[in-house]
Amino acid sequence: MAAPKLVIFDCDGVLVDSEPLANRKLIEYAAAHGLTLDAEASLREFNGAALRHRVAVLSARHHWTPPADFVAQVDAAIDASVGEADAIPGVAAVLDQLAREGVPVCLASNSRHAEIQLRLQHLGFVGRFLHCFSAAEDVANPKPAPDVYLHAAHTMGHAPEDCVVIEDSENGIRAARSAGMRVLGFARFTPAERVSALGATAFGDMRELPALLAGAVA
Protein backbone atom coordinates (compact mmCIF):
# COMPACT_ATOMS: atom_id res chain seq x y z
CA MET A 1 0.00 0.00 0.00
CA ALA A 2 1.44 3.37 -1.01
CA ALA A 3 1.47 6.06 1.66
CA PRO A 4 -1.72 8.14 1.36
CA LYS A 5 -1.82 11.82 0.46
CA LEU A 6 -4.92 12.27 2.65
CA VAL A 7 -6.27 10.24 5.56
CA ILE A 8 -10.02 10.56 6.14
CA PHE A 9 -11.36 9.48 9.52
CA ASP A 10 -14.92 8.52 10.30
CA CYS A 11 -16.03 9.88 13.68
CA ASP A 12 -18.43 7.63 15.61
CA GLY A 13 -16.86 4.27 16.32
CA VAL A 14 -13.44 5.36 15.03
CA LEU A 15 -12.58 8.43 17.08
CA VAL A 16 -15.21 8.15 19.78
CA ASP A 17 -16.96 5.17 21.34
CA SER A 18 -20.38 6.66 20.67
CA GLU A 19 -22.23 3.99 18.70
CA PRO A 20 -23.50 2.14 21.81
CA LEU A 21 -24.66 5.47 23.26
CA ALA A 22 -26.54 6.48 20.10
CA ASN A 23 -28.11 3.03 19.96
CA ARG A 24 -29.25 3.26 23.60
CA LYS A 25 -30.89 6.63 22.99
CA LEU A 26 -32.70 5.35 19.91
CA ILE A 27 -33.99 2.34 21.85
CA GLU A 28 -35.02 4.49 24.82
CA TYR A 29 -36.99 6.97 22.70
CA ALA A 30 -38.49 4.28 20.48
CA ALA A 31 -39.76 2.47 23.58
CA ALA A 32 -41.32 5.71 24.83
CA HIS A 33 -43.26 5.84 21.56
CA GLY A 34 -44.42 2.24 21.51
CA LEU A 35 -41.62 0.33 19.76
CA THR A 36 -39.46 -2.22 21.63
CA LEU A 37 -36.08 -3.01 20.06
CA ASP A 38 -33.36 -5.53 20.83
CA ALA A 39 -30.20 -3.59 21.75
CA GLU A 40 -27.65 -6.02 20.32
CA ALA A 41 -29.52 -6.59 17.07
CA SER A 42 -30.08 -2.86 16.61
CA LEU A 43 -26.42 -2.03 17.13
CA ARG A 44 -25.32 -4.79 14.77
CA GLU A 45 -27.72 -3.73 12.01
CA PHE A 46 -27.45 0.03 12.25
CA ASN A 47 -23.83 0.64 13.26
CA GLY A 48 -22.70 3.69 11.31
CA ALA A 49 -26.10 4.42 9.75
CA ALA A 50 -27.61 7.89 9.75
CA LEU A 51 -30.33 8.26 12.39
CA ARG A 52 -32.97 9.27 9.87
CA HIS A 53 -32.20 6.08 7.92
CA ARG A 54 -32.55 3.95 11.06
CA VAL A 55 -35.92 5.51 11.84
CA ALA A 56 -37.16 5.11 8.26
CA VAL A 57 -36.25 1.41 8.21
CA LEU A 58 -37.85 0.76 11.59
CA SER A 59 -41.00 2.66 10.64
CA ALA A 60 -41.47 0.62 7.47
CA ARG A 61 -40.58 -2.71 9.07
CA HIS A 62 -42.82 -2.36 12.13
CA HIS A 63 -45.59 -0.20 10.62
CA TRP A 64 -44.61 2.30 13.31
CA THR A 65 -45.32 6.01 13.12
CA PRO A 66 -43.08 8.03 15.46
CA PRO A 67 -43.76 11.72 16.06
CA ALA A 68 -42.58 14.14 13.38
CA ASP A 69 -39.80 15.46 15.61
CA PHE A 70 -38.58 12.01 16.70
CA VAL A 71 -35.19 12.28 14.99
CA ALA A 72 -34.68 15.74 16.50
CA GLN A 73 -35.56 14.37 19.95
CA VAL A 74 -33.04 11.55 19.70
CA ASP A 75 -30.37 13.85 18.24
CA ALA A 76 -30.84 16.23 21.17
CA ALA A 77 -30.59 13.36 23.67
CA ILE A 78 -27.37 12.14 22.05
CA ASP A 79 -25.90 15.64 22.10
CA ALA A 80 -26.80 16.05 25.77
CA SER A 81 -25.02 12.78 26.58
CA VAL A 82 -21.77 13.55 24.76
CA GLY A 83 -19.78 13.28 27.99
CA GLU A 84 -20.70 9.61 28.33
CA ALA A 85 -18.64 8.56 25.29
CA ASP A 86 -14.85 8.24 25.52
CA ALA A 87 -12.21 8.29 22.81
CA ILE A 88 -11.40 4.98 21.14
CA PRO A 89 -8.26 3.73 22.94
CA GLY A 90 -5.09 4.61 21.06
CA VAL A 91 -6.61 6.99 18.51
CA ALA A 92 -5.15 10.13 20.13
CA ALA A 93 -1.64 8.71 19.78
CA VAL A 94 -2.33 7.93 16.11
CA LEU A 95 -3.44 11.52 15.48
CA ASP A 96 -0.34 12.80 17.30
CA GLN A 97 1.93 10.68 15.12
CA LEU A 98 0.22 11.72 11.88
CA ALA A 99 0.57 15.37 12.91
CA ARG A 100 4.29 14.92 13.63
CA GLU A 101 4.75 13.30 10.22
CA GLY A 102 2.78 16.03 8.45
CA VAL A 103 0.15 13.68 7.06
CA PRO A 104 -3.01 15.64 6.12
CA VAL A 105 -6.11 14.38 7.92
CA CYS A 106 -9.79 15.29 7.68
CA LEU A 107 -13.03 13.86 9.01
CA ALA A 108 -16.14 12.63 7.17
CA SER A 109 -19.16 11.49 9.18
CA ASN A 110 -22.85 10.76 8.80
CA SER A 111 -23.40 12.98 11.84
CA ARG A 112 -24.44 16.63 11.84
CA HIS A 113 -21.77 19.35 12.12
CA ALA A 114 -22.99 20.34 15.58
CA GLU A 115 -22.72 16.75 16.76
CA ILE A 116 -19.25 16.36 15.26
CA GLN A 117 -18.02 19.51 17.00
CA LEU A 118 -19.46 18.40 20.34
CA ARG A 119 -17.60 15.11 19.98
CA LEU A 120 -14.31 16.80 19.10
CA GLN A 121 -14.62 19.30 21.95
CA HIS A 122 -15.32 16.53 24.44
CA LEU A 123 -12.33 14.50 23.24
CA GLY A 124 -9.96 17.46 23.03
CA PHE A 125 -9.57 16.88 19.28
CA VAL A 126 -10.58 20.35 18.07
CA GLY A 127 -8.01 21.54 15.55
CA ARG A 128 -6.72 18.05 14.76
CA PHE A 129 -8.48 17.91 11.36
CA LEU A 130 -8.04 20.18 8.36
CA HIS A 131 -11.76 20.00 7.68
CA CYS A 132 -14.86 18.17 8.93
CA PHE A 133 -17.49 16.96 6.47
CA SER A 134 -21.06 16.01 7.34
CA ALA A 135 -23.02 13.61 5.17
CA ALA A 136 -26.14 14.82 6.98
CA GLU A 137 -25.67 18.43 5.88
CA ASP A 138 -23.02 18.77 3.15
CA VAL A 139 -24.17 16.23 0.54
CA ALA A 140 -27.37 14.74 -0.83
CA ASN A 141 -26.99 11.18 0.46
CA PRO A 142 -25.47 9.69 3.63
CA LYS A 143 -23.24 6.64 3.75
CA PRO A 144 -23.38 4.00 2.23
CA ALA A 145 -23.55 6.44 -0.69
CA PRO A 146 -20.04 7.69 -1.58
CA ASP A 147 -21.09 11.35 -1.62
CA VAL A 148 -19.37 12.57 1.54
CA TYR A 149 -16.07 10.87 0.71
CA LEU A 150 -16.03 12.17 -2.86
CA HIS A 151 -16.89 15.64 -1.54
CA ALA A 152 -14.06 15.45 1.00
CA ALA A 153 -11.48 14.37 -1.59
CA HIS A 154 -12.58 17.07 -4.05
CA THR A 155 -12.59 19.80 -1.41
CA MET A 156 -9.17 18.77 -0.11
CA GLY A 157 -7.74 18.60 -3.64
CA HIS A 158 -6.89 14.92 -3.84
CA ALA A 159 -7.90 12.10 -6.17
CA PRO A 160 -9.97 9.37 -4.47
CA GLU A 161 -7.30 6.76 -5.16
CA ASP A 162 -4.79 8.83 -3.17
CA CYS A 163 -6.98 8.80 -0.05
CA VAL A 164 -7.19 6.23 2.72
CA VAL A 165 -10.31 6.05 4.87
CA ILE A 166 -10.50 4.80 8.46
CA GLU A 167 -13.94 3.25 8.98
CA ASP A 168 -15.67 0.83 11.34
CA SER A 169 -19.12 0.19 9.85
CA GLU A 170 -20.39 -1.69 6.82
CA ASN A 171 -22.11 1.45 5.53
CA GLY A 172 -18.95 3.48 5.88
CA ILE A 173 -16.75 0.87 4.20
CA ARG A 174 -19.21 0.58 1.32
CA ALA A 175 -19.26 4.37 0.94
CA ALA A 176 -15.48 4.69 0.82
CA ARG A 177 -15.01 1.72 -1.50
CA SER A 178 -17.71 3.10 -3.83
CA ALA A 179 -15.75 6.37 -3.86
CA GLY A 180 -12.70 4.46 -5.11
CA MET A 181 -10.73 4.83 -1.89
CA ARG A 182 -8.65 2.37 0.08
CA VAL A 183 -10.14 1.52 3.46
CA LEU A 184 -8.70 0.38 6.76
CA GLY A 185 -11.57 -1.20 8.68
CA PHE A 186 -11.61 -1.08 12.48
CA ALA A 187 -13.10 -4.47 13.34
CA ARG A 188 -14.98 -3.79 16.54
CA PHE A 189 -18.72 -4.15 15.98
CA THR A 190 -18.16 -5.32 12.39
CA PRO A 191 -16.37 -8.71 12.36
CA ALA A 192 -12.95 -8.80 10.70
CA GLU A 193 -14.08 -11.33 8.10
CA ARG A 194 -16.95 -9.05 7.11
CA VAL A 195 -14.62 -6.04 6.92
CA SER A 196 -12.35 -8.01 4.57
CA ALA A 197 -15.28 -9.24 2.47
CA LEU A 198 -16.30 -5.63 1.88
CA GLY A 199 -12.88 -4.85 0.44
CA ALA A 200 -11.19 -3.21 3.43
CA THR A 201 -8.04 -4.14 5.34
CA ALA A 202 -9.20 -5.23 8.79
CA PHE A 203 -7.42 -4.25 11.99
CA GLY A 204 -8.41 -4.60 15.63
CA ASP A 205 -6.22 -2.15 17.53
CA MET A 206 -5.54 1.52 16.81
CA ARG A 207 -1.85 0.91 17.53
CA GLU A 208 -1.73 -0.97 14.21
CA LEU A 209 -2.77 2.06 12.18
CA PRO A 210 0.56 3.91 11.73
CA ALA A 211 2.21 0.83 10.21
CA LEU A 212 -0.79 0.19 7.99
CA LEU A 213 -0.82 3.79 6.78
CA ALA A 214 2.92 3.73 6.13
CA GLY A 215 2.52 0.64 4.00
CA ALA A 216 4.47 -1.61 6.37
CA VAL A 217 1.50 -4.01 6.44
CA ALA A 218 -0.39 -4.88 3.27
From first to last of the 218 residues of the chain, give the pLDDT tens digit. 457 899 999 999 999 998 888 888 999 999 999 999 998 898 888 877 778 888 999 999 999 999 999 999 998 888 888 777 889 999 999 999 999 999 999 999 998 899 899 899 999 999 999 999 999 999 999 999 999 999 999 999 999 999 999 999 999 999 999 999 999 999 988 899 999 999 999 999 999 999 999 874 43
User: How high is the pLDDT of residue 217?
Assistant: 43
Instruction: For residue 134, report the phi and psi dihedrals to the nearest 5 degrees.
Output: -115, 120
User: How high is the pLDDT of residue 165?
Assistant: 97
Say if residues 149 and 8 touch (Cβ distance below 8 Å).
Answer: yes
Instruction: For residue 8, report the phi and psi dihedrals to the nearest 5 degrees.
Output: -115, 120
User: How high is the pLDDT of residue 2?
Assistant: 59
